[in-house]
Structure 1
Amino acid sequence: MATQEYRIVSGEESEIHKEPHIEGSRVTVRDVYVRVEHRGLSPDRVAERYNLDIADVYEALAYYHNNPEEMQQVEKRHERAGEEAKRRSSLTPPEN
């Protein structure tokens, strides 16, 4: 009988990002989700780009969808960080 080991480290257990990531890497669950769901990269391409097993990519996607409250908190934290960076920046975006 095969045993399955999950390689996602939860945000509570993470000492790296304070958000879920793939064990043994600095690749976050959110990073995988954004690349597949928003940027349209295939899971195979994400695995290749980050030197991950394809199973890790699918596990990260499953974790994202199975933990909506935790991931919403992560998204809000990223939004706040982006807003703070814009506020502190002296650069002005170009006008269209």
Structure 2
Amino acid sequence: MTIVADEDILGGEPRVEGTRIGVRHIAGKVVSGGQTPAYVADQYDISLASVYEALSYYYANLEEMKGFERENAEAFERVHDDGLQPKEPVS
């Protein structure tokens, strides 16, 4: 397996080739979620080597990954804020 990026899949975020599983998804489960790499591999039905490759990519490109995290958080906030605004005043 290898890590690839394609603008048409996951908005261009790096992912495990042949899947829609993003590097950030894997890193989030292992780094932030405290799950073992073996458990994540089993849950996503990918090889353990792919999990370690994704983690290696994550740490080798930490600034890029943090940028994707910021963009994702900002997009979520925009959608959340827009969704809470009434279209017309409530009487």
TM over 0.5: yes
1:22-75 deviations in Å (ceiling 9; x for gaps): 000000000000000111111011100110000000000010000122112111
Equivalent residue, structure 1, for 2:87: none
Q: How high is the TM-score relative to the length of structure 1?
A: 0.79
Residue 86 of structure 1: CA displacement? Answer: 1.7
Residue 88 of structure 1: CA displacement? Answer: 2.2
Letter in 1 for 2:41: A
Q: Which has the larger radius of gyration?
A: 2
80-89 or 52-61, larger mean C-alpha shift: 80-89
Query: Runs of 5+ in structure 1 lacking a partner?
Result: 1-5, 91-96
Query: Runs of 5+ in structure 2 lacking a partner?
Result: 85-91
1:9 paired to 2:4: yes
43-52 or 78-87, larger mean C-alpha shift: 78-87
Deviation >2 Å, runs of 4+? none
Q: Which has the higher helix share?
A: 2
Equivalent residue, structure 2, for 1:3: none
1:68 paired to 2:70: no
Picking from 10, 17, 20, the partner of 2:14 is: 20
* RMSD (Å) for aligned C-alpha atoms: 1.7
Structure 1 segment 28-39 matched on structure 2, within 5 A? 28-39=22-33
DSSP-derived class of the 2:8 partner = coil
